Amino acid sequence: MLSFFKDYKIFGIVFLILSIIIVSIIYNTLNVYQPLPIYQPAMVSTELVDSTIQYQKKYHKIADFKLINQNGKTITQNDYKNKIYVADFFFTTCQTICPIMTNHMADIQKEIINDDEVMLLSHTVTPDIDTVAQLKRYAIEKGVNDAKWNMVTGDKKQIYELARKSYLAVKDDGDGGDFDMIHTENFMLIDKKRQIRGFYDGTDPEAIKELLEDIEILKQEK
């Protein structure tokens, strides 16, 4: 009888060890690193994309740009070379979604403040109002760290083309103008190759959490 229970005990231990190994294998299989999608114009709602590129299925990247930040410094794509960054479009006089978006961008800034791989880029959609001086006042008010976060103004046509043809971020306003658009709540996650890797609702705290998680996933890419 004692021998039976001894054998049973050994069987139980072996079964437990095997069970742990099997569960671990299943867990690791289900949690394999999953890369983020690389968004192309054809993957995005046509209302957010300029008609000239709506059916493009590959090779989409953020175009070269030359804009001016809150300190009067010229900012180009070279300032974001080999960086992951979060981009958005806003305007300083907006009283609806912009304050929420900017506060959420400030939350992201806190999380990435010591991360040399990640930066932020906010484009004004009213450059005629948002001068360098206006952006500087707004940046100070919102706690912008100049080394991490550029708020940029510049040529309106260029900014709107970036929104429609590069970031695939906004709807036009329906009045027939080539460079008119309504504002967008979208945050875009851009990788080191200037590719779009995610879209997020900048007014939604849960979406911001997802964005921060996706930044960590993106940092695992070689």
List the binding residues.
Answer: 94, 98, 183
Alpha-carbon span 174 to 41, nearest angstrom: 20
Helix (H) or strand (E) holding 151, with range, is strand 149-152
Residue in the structure block whose two tokens are 């070689």: 222
Q: Which residue in 69, 24, 20, 60 sits closest to 40, CA to CA?
A: 60
The 3-state DSSP class for residue 146 equals coil
CB 84 within 8 A of CB 198: no
Q: Which run of H or of E encompasses 48?
A: none
* DSSP-based three-state secondary structure for 89: strand
At 125, give phi and psi (nearest 5°): -100, 0
Between CA 69 and CA 144 the distance in angstroms is 12
Binding-site residue positions for Cu cation: 94, 98, 183
* Rounded CA separation 129/133 (Å): 10
Question: For the chain, what's the residue count?
Answer: 222
